[in-house]
Amino acid sequence: MTDDPKARIVELCRQFYSMGWVSGTGGGVAIRQAGRVFMAPSGVQKERLRESDLFELDEDGNVTNSPSADRSLSQCAPLFFNAFRLRGAGAVLHNHSIHAVLATLVYETEFRVTHLEMMKGIRGTGYPDELVIPIIENTAHECDLADTMAEAMKSYPDSDAVLVRRHGVYVWGKDWVEAKTQAECYDYLFEAAVRMLQLGIDPTQKPTGTPCKHTG
């Protein structure tokens, strides 16, 4: 059974709104299927999105079907296309999760964690591995992130995410299922790392024994 990408985007935006990932019209989702790309517009409440609000583009990024004239294409479009072109992604998500934002404040140029079970939800990553995600600097306009995001993706071919300082994260996958589940695992790991640092535990270090500080 083929998936209806428009219905899926509407459903995913509602789910992500309830998770605090796309509040205040921020964030977005794009799905590529059978040579066509479907994308939510900018400046629209993501939890109220309808299928008729979505843009349709060809694989070169040309708009082939626009919703009503008061809708504008997402500024994220060139960033979503980075994942389609450079990684052959089938879906890309962008969110402003507070966990992603906080993670970019406690790491400098790379997010790094190791020995956390949820790492297993990330493509090609096991529990004892080190998960590394590049962090790029934010810009005043979202479209201006496209080049630095592309450079980061080329420098970190094993990463399916790019963090943007004080802004959020872009995550992709071969299809919407992989993009969504990886985004959930990444978000968990961002929160875990920030909380570990608050507890004085270094998330980049292999555990050497019990982390418990109290005795008794």
Out of 117, 142, 184, 191, pick the active-site residue.
117
**How many residues in total does the chain contain?**
216
CA atoms within 13 A on the CB side of 215: 0
| Number of Cβ within a 10 Å radius of residue 105 | 10
User: Tokens at residue 142, please?
Assistant: 């979202």
Beta strands (DSSP E) in 16-89 are 28-33, 36-39, 55-58, 63-65
How far is the C-alpha of 73 from the C-alpha of 131, rounded, in Å?
Answer: 33
117 counts as catalytic: yes
Dist CA 121 CA 183 (whole Å): 9
**Pick from 46, 11, 21, 29: nearest CA to 190:** 21
Report the DSSP beta bridge partners of residue 92. Answer: 30, 172
E-strand ranges in 118-198 read 130-136, 161-164, 168-173
| Helix 77-87, helix 146-155: angle, nearest 10 | 30
Annotated active-site positions, please?
Answer: 117
